Amino acid sequence: MGNLSKKWSTVLVCLVLMGGLFLTGCSSPSATSSDANTSQNAALANYVPRLEGIATVEMKIKGSPVIIEVNGKDAPITAGNFVDLVERGFYNGLTFHRVVKDPQPFVAQGGDPQGTGTGSFIDPQTKKARYIPLEIKLEGDEQPTYGQALGQQGTAIDKTVALKHSRGAVAMARSQLPDSASSQFYFALSDLPFLDGDYAVFGYVTQGMDVVDSIKQGDKIDSAKVVSGLENLKK
């Protein structure tokens, strides 16, 4: 009975995810085929902004610091997008519009300029929303796979992902379309392996997880700044 209860608990969390982690009102290209994805990988080789290495971000929440190590080695586009937004001051003052802790610790999600779960980053130069492709790197692969869910929502694979949804992971929220992530991100409040391959992890909390655990819906990001590794950002 214990294993059955645990299974149903995981199913319930998955249903919570389907109802809320997806963004709404976003549009982007649909997922590509594997052949097209190979070409897309090459086309994205010079995508900017991108992070070619590691950066450290300090995010202050309710006056307390949270240190995030951002991994541009395994998720260069996703990490580059985040670091670029941090450098712009985009996240300063935004709220955590969705925090799920029941029936078990799940996610604290923020980064929406509208605070509704439907907003995106609007590039001031193009006046359009900036979306990034779903970026998943598998262990043993030289490059990430783009535009294709590789977990429970997509193609089932035997390999494990390089960046896992362990407690303290920082990842991008998106709509049902793979290439629809923009500015909304979430902290994993516990190990969430059923999200691996379907959502792009790009970093981990290295200090201040107690602060992350204390986040309540409506809490704000006081500020976010890049404290090291900004030279790795290519724009």
Give yes or no for a contact between 106 and 112, defined as CB atoms under 8 angstroms apart.
Answer: no
All residue ranges of the chain with pLDDT < 50 are 1, 3-8, 11, 18-20, 23-36
Residues contacting residue 18 through CB under 8 Å, at least 6 positions apart: none
- Cα separation, 69 vs 51, in Å, equals 12
pLDDT of residue 187: 98
According to CATH, the topology of domain 2-26+48-234 is: Cyclophilin (2.40.100)
Q: How far is CA 55 from the centre of its chain?
A: 15
Extents of the domains making up the chain: 2-26+48-234
This prediction's pTM: 0.86
pLDDT of residue 41: 65
pLDDT of residue 153: 79
Q: Is 16 helix (H, G, I), strand (E, B) or coil?
A: helix
- Cα separation, 123 vs 216, in Å, equals 29
